[in-house]
Amino acid sequence: MGDHVSRRSSNSRLPPEVNRILYVRNLPFTITAEELYAIFGKYGAVYQIRLGDKNKDTRGTAFVVYEDIYDAKAAVDHLSGFNVGGRYLVVLYYQPAKFQKRAETEEKQKELELLRSKVNAKKAQTSSSNNK
Q: Is the pLDDT of residue 5 over 50?
A: no
Q: Is the pLDDT of residue 98 over 80?
A: no
**Cα-flanking dihedrals φ and ψ of residue 18, to 5°?**
-65, 135
Residues 68 and 21 in one domain: yes
Whole-number pLDDT of residue 100: 63
Burial call 59-93: b when 16+ CB within 10 Å, e when fewer: ebbbebbbeeebbbbbbbeebeeeebeeeebbbbb
Residues 86 and 100 in one domain: no
Whole-number pLDDT of residue 4: 46
Domain with 87, as residue range(s), is 17-94
Residues 25 and 89 in one domain: yes
Residues 106 and 53 in one domain: no
Structurally, the chain folds into a number of domains equal to 2
Residues 84 and 27 in one domain: yes
Residue percentage of the chain with pLDDT more than 70 = 81
| Residue 69 located in a structural domain | yes
User: What's the pTM value of the predicted model, to 2 decimals?
Assistant: 0.65
Residues 66 and 110 in one domain: no
DSSP, collapsed to helix, strand or coil, labels residue 118 as helix
CA 106 to chain centre: 13
**For residue 95, which of 18, 14, 13 has the smallest C-alpha distance?**
18
Band of pLDDT at residue 3, cut at 50, 70 and 90: very low
